[in-house]
A and B are shown apart, each in its own frame.
Chain A
Amino acid sequence: MNSILRGLAVYLFLLVIFRINGKRSLAQITTFDAVLLLIISEAIQQAMIDGDNSLTNAFLIVLTLVGTDLVLSFLTLRFRALDKLVNDVPLVLVENGVVHHDRLRRARVSLDDVLENARTIHGLERMEQIKYAVLERDGHISIIPSWVPWVTARATTEGSR
């Protein structure tokens, strides 16, 4: 029973910590973030196994963690309020070309982050070319350009025929 309680406590603790840290906490993992994650897992592992190196204990902990995740995914699907609490809500950062600076600041996202996503995914050059930028629930930034590239590309191709 101890292993199960420890597994549950660790799951809930990590859930709360990462929720407090905000949407962007692990959206872009740098090399240092990866090292930090390894250290966190090492620190947590010691407390979870509690000196019990048996296979049964390891299985129980894995069962608890995966089981809790499964139950939570069922519950979040069923209850919208819990879904928002656990998985967060999306946030529109740029709306019809208008930048919501207050939301950017509070969500700890810079304009550079938005532009970087616009460049790398859509090949956009300027802010005016962004219609919507949405900070998704998992912390990634979705960009919707003011024009849809494939439509323009198709129109150009058809026009040249």
Chain B
Amino acid sequence: MERVDGLELEQDLRFQRREWLVEYAGRLLLFVAFLAGLLGILGGGPLSWGQARSADGRLLVRYPRFARLETPARMSLEVDGSATRDGRFSLALPRSYLDEVDISNIVPLPSSARSEDGYTVFEFQVGRGVTRPEVIFSFQFDRAGVASAEVLLNEGSRVSLKQIVWP
């Protein structure tokens, strides 16, 4: 802290220099945040989409790796035709995951849904001639943070997802 000769003013050049440094660092951070937004790391961009396939290759899930709270999102689940039984297949989502999301729509609509040990199982019918049926879940997250889920196909093939939900 220094008093400027003749002026009743206390300037603090040491603080001021540190402040300039912090300002530079802050601007750099803003630029990084801007880039992250552009790339989709903060949701809604090229890097925000992820996909995961089950070990046996029967289930392919495309999902938002980075999502935003209370913002519409969608997840598509593509099933290999060989996984259908009598024109049916089932997808199970953990209830802990469903607690964190608000599902607004499922296309096509499941023919039935039931609760099983920690999971909600959705049963789907497959139309004739469809080789790779796809189900789209439209939803939005109700909670910010990290959401993880294990999607099961016919209670066999499984895909693990981890999503970051920005507030």
Interface residues of A (CB under 8 A from B): 9, 16-17, 19-22, 50-51, 84, 88-92, 95-96, 106, 131-132, 134, 144
- Among B32-52, those with CB < 8 Å from A are none
Which residues of B have CB within 8 Å of A96?
Answer: 5-6
Which residues of A have CB within 8 Å of B130?
Answer: none
Q: Is the CB of A90 within 8 A of B9?
A: yes
Interface residues of B (CB under 8 A from A): 4-7, 9-12, 15-16, 19-20, 22-23, 26-27, 29-30, 70, 167
Q: Is the CB of B23 within 8 A of A144?
A: no
Q: Which of A21, A88, A131 contacts B19, CB < 8 Å?
A: A88
What CA separation (Å) do A132 and B5 show in the bound complex?
A: 10
What CA separation (Å) do A144 and B70 show in the bound complex?
A: 54
Q: Is the CB of A84 within 8 A of B7?
A: no
Residue of B nearest to A88 (CB): B19
Residue of B nearest to A16 (CB): B26
Q: Which of A17, A19, A21, A134 contacts B9, CB < 8 Å?
A: A134
Q: Is the CB of B30 within 8 A of A89?
A: no
Other A-B pairs, 12, CB within 8 Å; known A50-B70, A90-B11? A16-B26, A20-B22, A20-B26, A20-B27, A84-B15, A88-B19, A91-B11, A91-B16, A92-B9, A92-B11, A96-B5, A131-B6
Q: Is the CB of A95 within 8 A of B23?
A: no
Which residues of B have CB within 8 Å of A134?
Answer: 7, 9
Which residues of B have CB within 8 Å of A92?
Answer: 4, 7, 9, 11
Which residues of A have CB within 8 Å of B9?
Answer: 90, 92, 134
- 9 tightest A-B CB contacts, nearest first: A20-B26, A89-B12, A92-B4, A106-B20, A90-B11, A92-B11, A89-B15, A90-B9, A20-B23
Selected A-B contacts with CB under 8 Å, 18 pairs: A9-B167, A16-B26, A20-B26, A20-B27, A20-B29, A89-B10, A89-B11, A89-B16, A90-B9, A90-B11, A91-B11, A91-B16, A92-B7, A92-B11, A96-B5, A131-B6, A132-B6, A144-B7
**Minimum distance in angstroms from B60 CB to a CB of chain A:** 34
What CA separation (Å) do A16 and B9 show in the bound complex?
A: 25
**Minimum distance in angstroms from B102 CB to a CB of chain A:** 13
Q: Is the CB of A22 within 8 A of B4?
A: no
With contacts A84-B15, A90-B11 taken as known, whether A95 is within 8 angstroms of B20 at the C-beta atoms is no
